[in-house]
């Protein structure tokens, strides 16, 4: 039997279409280090880490300026700790400086142990992004200024939600230029896995997906945001509600493209179900 934790049907908005007001100041990219991402030492390739940092810097810059950006340079990127196979990687990015046609994004890369939850800051860096648009020819045109800190605090005050952003590339699309449904389902299940693992602090596996509804296509070049939350807890399983939002880079229009529920089961090293945490923080008998 499961215990409902939250009966919200839509974790972000009452409508399926919103325009930018729910985009947080801090953009996050969360993933898991798989064997294909590692070198012969069993740690994340340094170049793969750079690529993830540049990707989230691009997302952060685009959300701020709503114009195309390219990376002009990066600096002060020093690895102080490796990212190991099987760890969660969380990258956060925020715009810290804005000029007329360029801005600077600060990016941090943190490694997190799935079971213990220990987090280590592995590296940080500064990415300088330049707007590539005809608008820059107009000397009176300028990128929007930084938002007020008070607004940022309100938008990022959602600690119970897992939010992870990415970009849809051409190799993830079908012949119509929209994201494959299977790729979307894989992204949603990964988000559910991370949310469940953080809740249980135990290895979890996907047991079932009771329902998944697709409402809109996701175009190549869109920003993809997955929002997950544990909504029910049982003896050895949790139910995670996951929303998949697509965001137009230029207009900021956001569509709730898909929504699904995933049942994740906590298991031991032999793959047998084990109790998850009770509400008081103790293991259920």
User: What pLDDT is stored for residue 147 in this prediction?
Assistant: 81
Q: State residue 80's pLDDT score.
A: 97
SS3 of 145-170: the string is CCCCHHHHHHHCCCCCCEEEEEECCH
Instruction: Using the structure block, give the residue that is written with the tokens 């190799």.
Output: 171
- Say what the pLDDT of residue 160 is: 72
Query: What integer pLDDT is reported at residue 150 of this predicted model?
Result: 43
* Residue pair 192/229 in contact by the 8 Å Cβ criterion: no
The CA distance from 81 to 111, in Å, is 9
Q: What angle do CA 72, 75, 76 make, to 5 degrees?
A: 165
User: Which of 261, 244, 183 lies closest to 16 in space, CA to CA?
Assistant: 244
What domains can be seen in the chain, in order of their start residue? Answer: 18-131 (3.10.129.10), 161-266 (3.10.129.10)
Q: Across the 285 residues of the chain, what is the mean pLDDT of every consecutive 10-residue run?
A: 52 50 80 96 96 98 97 96 97 96 98 96 98 91 82 53 96 95 97 97 95 94 97 96 97 96 96 78 47
| C-alpha span between 267 and 202 (Å, rounded) | 7
pTM: predicted TM-score of the whole model, two decimal places? 0.87
**How many other CB atoms are found less than 10 A from the CB of residue 24?**
18
pLDDT at 149: 61
* Alpha helix segments (H runs only) across the chain: 46-65, 149-155, 181-200
Q: By three-state DSSP, how is residue 239 classified?
A: strand
Is-contact 196 240, C-beta < 8 A?
A: yes
Measure the CA–CA gap between 118 and 112, rounded to whole angstroms. 6
For residue 32, give the nearest of 240, 245, 189, 235 by alpha carbon: 189
Q: Taking the mean position of all CA atoms in its chain, how far away is CA 204?
A: 19
- Rounded Cα distance between 274 and 268, Å, is 6
Query: What 3-state DSSP class applies to 228?
Result: strand
**Spatial distance between the Cα atoms of 129 and 215, rounded to a whole number of angstroms:** 33
The single-letter DSSP state of residue 171 is G
**pLDDT for the residue 210:** 84
């Amino acid at each position: 039997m499961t215990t409902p934790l939250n009966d919200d049907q839509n974790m972000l908005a009452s409508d399926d279409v919103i325009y930018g007001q729910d985009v947080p100041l801090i953009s996050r990219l969360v993933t898991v280090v798989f064997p294909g991402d590692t070198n012969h030492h069993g740690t994340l390739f340094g170049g793969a880490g750079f690529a993830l940092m540049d990707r989230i810097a691009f997302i952060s810059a685009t959300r701020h300026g709503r114009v195309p950006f390219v990376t002009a340079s990066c600096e002060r990127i020093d690895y102080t700790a490796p990212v190991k196979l099987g760890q969660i990687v969380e990258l956060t990015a925020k715009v810290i400086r804005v000029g007329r046609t360029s801005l600077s994004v600060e990016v941090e890369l943190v490694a997190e142990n799935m079971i213990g939850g220990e987090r280590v800051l592995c590296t940080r860096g500064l990415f300088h992004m330049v707007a590539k648009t005809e608008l820059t020819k107009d000397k009176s045109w300028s990128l929007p200024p930084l938002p007020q800190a008070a607004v940022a605090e309100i938008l990022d005050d959602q600690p119970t939600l897992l939010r992870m952003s990415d970009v849809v590339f051409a190799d993830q699309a079908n012949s119509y230029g929209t994201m494959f449904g299977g790729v979307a389902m894989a992204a949603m299940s990964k988000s559910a896995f991370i949310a469940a693992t953080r809740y249980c602090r135990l290895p979890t596996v996907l047991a079932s997906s009771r329902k998944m509804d697709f409402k809109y296509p996701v175009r190549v070049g869109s920003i993809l945001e997955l929002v997950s939350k544990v909504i029910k807890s049982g003896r050895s399983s949790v139910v995670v509600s996951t929303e998949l939002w697509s965001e137009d880079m230029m207009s900021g229009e956001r569509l709730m493209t898909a929504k699904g529920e995933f049942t994740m089961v906590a298991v031991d090293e032999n793959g047998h179900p084990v109790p998850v945490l009770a509400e008081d923080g103790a293991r259920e008998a």
